[in-house]
Chains A and B, each alone.
Chain A
Amino acid sequence: MAEPIYLAADARLPYCRGCGHALVVRQLSRALAGLNLPPRSIVLTTDIGCVGLADSLFPYLHTVHTTHGRSTAMATGMALAEVAAPAGGLKPIVMIGDGGATIGLLHLVHAAQLNVDITVLLHNNFLFGMTGGQHSALTPLGWVTSTTPARNSIPPLDLPALLRTAQAGFLARQFATDSNLDSVIAEAIAYPGFALVEIVEVCTGYGTLRNKASGNALREVVSRQGYSIGKMETGPPRSTFGEAYRQEVESHQARQATPPPPESEASRVSNFQFPVSSFQFPVSNSQFPVSNLQFPISNFQFPFSASQHSRKLHLVIAGTAGERVQSSAALLCRAALSAGLYSTQKNDNPVTQGSGFSLAEICLSPQPIQYTGVESADVVVAVSEDGWNELRANGMLAKVTPSTLLLVDAELESSIPAGRLFRLPFRREATPKRAALAAIAFWLGLEPVVPGTAWEGVLGSLPAERRPDVAEALRIGAKLAAQEGARAA
């Protein structure tokens, strides 16, 4: 088989006379020849700038010419895909300048962190050549550029040093004129992970116009910055992204192959001593002694029963973050599902999720639910001061009508509007973390929209360690409802 060809022999390099880019493309071609890599196993990913013209010079490699700064990220995407779906060892090589490197700095950092298998050739000519020689973040101190006519006073970025802190495994800085540049590039390409070679060169169009940067002067510029030359010390070898991914896949497969531990005798649902199967809310719709109640609203009508209610029901449950408000609401929705009802649940909390209020809005309906908002609230539950304050702040209390059922914790100090109000010691009786669910169970004691039996499936679906807690909260809520019923009678 003929030796693979990389840079076309008759390639007319489009660079200015003396530009370092021309040296780099020839050295890259030599490096690829030395490695004898199949041309189709390389994707040359070029950035914007004069450096981006290189893709047209390598007619046998895959080439992807990207937007400015994104070459590293696109190359990373290709390398990641190669890990998930190998196409025979595709190797992205990124050709990028100082502008692309700073626009896409985070892409370089993340590629180094991931240790994804790409090689970056950073062409550092200390300024923006294609656009007229403007200052870049890599311009040395004291340089005159078209945008720093009074000499640059901003210290330049040492990219290899920066990438060392991102755990890059292969870092080098070379001059474009170095005779061993091809072997350093070859070593970088062969490195199985993220590798970057910063190639210091001159822009003959603009760099040498106002600054001493030819020949040995360029070496002086570099040493004045305190930059190291050649291969740099890096940390101990790390796994590549590919290795880490394969480990993840294997551990996933191992988890799937392992059967779940047998349920211990003690944690089985059937063995629970809680009134699970015989879970009865103490008052049924027909027997509830409506006429004897001392509620402020005389015509106390329970509009819903599990079998009958035909319209959408809106509940709002408010409490404090971390006190299982939203997860209790989710349990109610699951129980409603077992009872043949449609449900929707929307949650709200402050930006910081672990403090302040926690709120859940629920719709229950025997028909598919369209509008999920609350036009008027049927049931409002507030089990903490945080929750109540939020209901007031977010306008929910404006949606309370005379027929709204208000269930609030007895500890709340706020004044509550009169209405169909129940103040009960949910927090004290059930603990703050069970208060929301106890309040839900209390409501179901009054208005059995979801029958007790619907909770069996919910309990059964929970992890064994959560069941006692949930059953206890339901039991306390039902007990409070029974007491309330008895008192009213």
Chain B
Amino acid sequence: MVAEGALASGCRFFAGYPITPASEIYEVMMRELVARGGLALSAPDEISSLCYCVGASLHGLKSMTATSGPGWALMSETVQYALMTETPVVIALVQRLGPSTGGATQGAQGDLLLAEFSTSGGYSIPVFAPSNAAECYELTQQAFYWSERLRTPVVLLSDKEVGMTTELVDDAALAKLPPFERTRVDVQASSAAYEIESAQEVPAFSPVGGSAKVTVTGSAHDRQGRLRKPSPEVVELLLHLQRKIEAHASEMAVVRRDLDPAASCLLISYGITARAAREAVGRLRQDGFPISFLQIQTLFPVPVEALREAAAGIRTIFVAEENLTGQYRSVLAPLLTGQRVLGINKLGGMISPAEIVRAVRRAGGTIPRADWPGARNAPGAVREAPGKAGA
């Protein structure tokens, strides 16, 4: 469904190298892309895969590759190059258990921070996280849309359990996003490859091979694309790389809300764990515990408005994710001051609905506010960011 989403978005170039659990995307693209007027290629390694994609994108083709943690590690150099040169490219990162070779056929949600913070300088990379096959289709389209719209690498962060589970998809119910086409400048007159009107907006795109002279460099550069030592103009362009993402954060935000006005606690999850979380929420409500649920699909930039709206009036917030340290919780906790933020974490297997229910109950998050054990503390005094609450 990632491949189908890519094709629906007008992806015309794919280069890949097999790696469990991302090989299915590679195989489908190899089978389908030529038939749909594109080109798919087997690269000799992941570094080549992404370099080929970046080269093809500089030429004007919407491009994608797919990999897992070990391949992503090899790609980080070229991800940064794409970011610096404002070259659109989509990377489907289908997570497996790490570190290192880890577990090829074992799911995990451990590459979240690795995906987001892989650039020197900490520039933001948009990251979308699907929890099922339909969302793979929908969020791949989002990934392409924003990659092309903001001329930036975008990560589709899936995982083994999402990527390698066969399930029923209702084609008619799939959300279809009109593909975004880069604004092109082919005129001779424009020779400033990085001419921007404001820090929030991207320069018009000129393809390599077109009639406008293109100057691209991964080094710090001026508006002409020429390598330069830091000057106000160069620094302005570096700031622009970050500002253009931040300025469109609200537009990029995709979440699924299932809020209960009577709830005193909120469960947040994403990717594969969101499925168990939704089931856990159903069980808790069936047992008479009011609870709100927020599935975050745009992990980065963090959908702050949706988060604050869901967290309003809430005492305890649980973040359920299949990793050791609560990676996303560490990102959300500083945004939720005055609230208790607890993690439900696990390593080596999917978190089950029962485990989430247990963790929520054990932490007392669903006890009416007045009776909550933590009430003896001053409001806001208890905030457990690191450490594990459950599972």
Binding site for B on A (CB under 8 A): 39-41, 43, 55-56, 59-67, 70, 73-85, 87-88, 90, 106-107, 109-110, 245, 248-249, 252, 256, 330, 333, 337, 342-349, 351, 369-373, 375
Contact = CB atoms under 8 A, between A and B. Distances in A.
Nearest to A68: B77
Nearest to A43: B208
Contacts of B164: 346-347
15 contacts: A39-B213, A40-B210, A43-B214, A63-B217, A64-B216, A70-B77, A70-B81, A80-B15, A87-B59, A107-B48, A245-B39, A344-B165, A346-B164, A351-B104, A373-B349
Interface in B122-177: 161, 164-168
Contact of A67 (B45, B57, B213, B218): B218
Given A76-B55, A344-B167, A371-B276, 8 more contacts: A43-B214, A77-B13, A77-B53, A78-B208, A80-B52, A81-B58, A107-B47, A333-B166
Nearest to B53: A77
Q: Which of B55, B164, B353 is most buried by chain A, counting CB atoms within 10 A of its CB?
A: B55
- Size bracket of the B interface: 35 or more
Contacts of B12: 84-85
Given A40-B213, A342-B168, A372-B275, A56 B226 contact: yes
A55 B217 contact: yes
A80 B39 contact: yes
A351 B105 CA distance: 8
Contacts of B35: 252, 256
B34 A109 contact: no
Contacts of B48: 73, 76, 106-107, 110
Contacts of A81: 13, 39, 55-61
A78 B275 contact: no
B261 interface: no
Nearest to B282: A370
A80 B275 contact: no
A56 B227 contact: yes
Contacts of B166: 330, 333, 343-346
B353 A75 contact: no
Contacts of A39: 213
Interface in B342-389: 349-350, 352-354
Contact of A249 (B34, B47, B104, B350): B34
Contacts of B278: 370
Contacts of B165: 344-346, 372
A347 B167 CA distance: 12
Given A73-B52, A84-B12, A252-B34, A67 B209 contact: no
Contacts of B77: 67, 70
Given A88-B209, A371-B279, A70 B58 contact: no
Given A56-B226, A370-B275, A372-B165, A77 B56 contact: yes
Interface of B: 12-13, 15, 34-35, 37-39, 41, 43-45, 47-48, 51-61, 77-78, 81, 104-105, 161, 164-168, 207-211, 213-219, 226-227, 275-276, 278-279, 349-350, 352-354
A41 B216 contact: no
A40 B59 CA distance: 12
Nearest to B226: A56
Contacts of B38: 84
Contacts of B51: 70, 73-74, 76-77, 107
B216 A65 contact: yes
A437 B352 CA distance: 29
B275 A371 contact: yes
Contacts of A245: 34, 39
A106 to B, nearest CB: 5
Contact of B55 (A41, A77, A106, A256): A77
Contact of A63 (B55, B168, B214): B214
A160 to B, nearest CB: 19
Nearest to B44: A110
B102 to A, nearest CB: 13
A266 B89 CA distance: 50
A110 to B, nearest CB: 5
Contacts of B34: 245, 248-249, 252
A276 to B, nearest CB: 24
A82 B209 contact: yes
Contacts of A256: 35
A238 B12 CA distance: 26
B52 to A, nearest CB: 4
A94 B294 CA distance: 50
A85 B59 contact: yes
A51 B210 CA distance: 25
Contacts of A348: 105
B213 A66 contact: no
A369 B55 contact: no
A85 B207 CA distance: 12
Contacts of B167: 342-345, 369, 372
A64 B104 CA distance: 36
A78 B209 CA distance: 9
A65 B218 contact: yes
B56 A78 contact: yes
B352 A90 contact: no
A447 B139 CA distance: 38
Contact of A370 (B105, B217, B276): B276
Given A81-B39, A90-B209, A344-B165, A373 B60 contact: no
Contact of A80 (B44, B56, B168, B219): B56
Nearest to A362: B166
A78 B217 contact: no
Contacts of A109: 44
Contacts of A40: 209-211, 213
B202 to A, nearest CB: 18
9 shortest A-B CB distances, which residue pairs? A77-B55, A73-B51, A87-B209, A81-B59, A90-B209, A81-B56, A77-B52, A84-B39, A65-B217
A127 to B, nearest CB: 23
A82 B12 CA distance: 12
A76 B165 CA distance: 35
A369 B54 CA distance: 38
B98 to A, nearest CB: 17
B71 to A, nearest CB: 14
Nearest to B273: A371
